[in-house]
Homo-oligomer: A and B are copies of this chain.
Amino acid sequence: MSSRKSDSRERMVLSAAALLREYGASATSVDHVLAHSGAPRGSVYHHFPGGRAQLIDEAVALAGDFITGLIDAAMQADDPVEAVDAFFALWRDRLVESGFRAGCPIVAVAVETNDDAPQLARSAAAVFARWQEALAALLVRHGLAEERSLRLGAFIIAAVEGAVIMCRAERSTAPIEAAAAEIHNLLIYALRDRPGTGSGPRPKA
């Protein structure tokens, strides 16, 4: 090639995503990303002419795609209830492994974004929509109506995200385990009531 491509750019986006997870959007400054990635300061605006906003935006897209992959993998389970259980377990493990420091990078951007960066809110919303569709597709495959499936998809994401915030604040897995157990119950009820099906497994205590 005419010029050797460095990996600074990629490393910066990865670092930004990692910092978003653990420290939030405001704390994900250009300086911190440079320190975390080891990328050279001189090339920041060469790689990201849109400045910090572009960097954060790309980190949201990258983290969103990564988690979408995890969801898609979890949704391969035969039993839809098990699949959603696995989705919750994923987040619980992230919390525990990080000592309750790792939250959701998309939530961080969605919460801290204000009117002067409307693109970031749109990017976050797009990620949520993609996750919702992945969850809804699973439920549709198992016989639920599309409208109900989309509703449950949004609901599951809301429950996970809210629970992750609570777990970080109180440094405990209790909220996400409560959410997982209750979503588990609800899905069993929902799948049991679907047309043309005998009674399925009993809900948990």
- The chain A residues found within 8 Å of chain B, CB to CB, are 23-27, 101, 103, 107-108, 110-115, 121-122, 124-125, 128-129, 148, 150-152, 154-155, 157-163, 165-166, 168-171, 174-176, 178-179, 181-182, 185-186, 189-190, 193, 203, 205
Contacts and interface: CB of A to CB of B under 8 A. Distances in A.
Contact of A24 (B111, B150, B160, B168): B111
A166 B128 CA distance: 7
A189 B26 CA distance: 42
A158 B186 contact: no
Majority SS at the chain A contact face: helix
| Copies of this chain present | 2
Contact of A163 (B114, B121, B158): B158
Contact of A103 (B27, B111, B169): B111
A184 to B, nearest CB: 11
A205 to B, nearest CB: 7
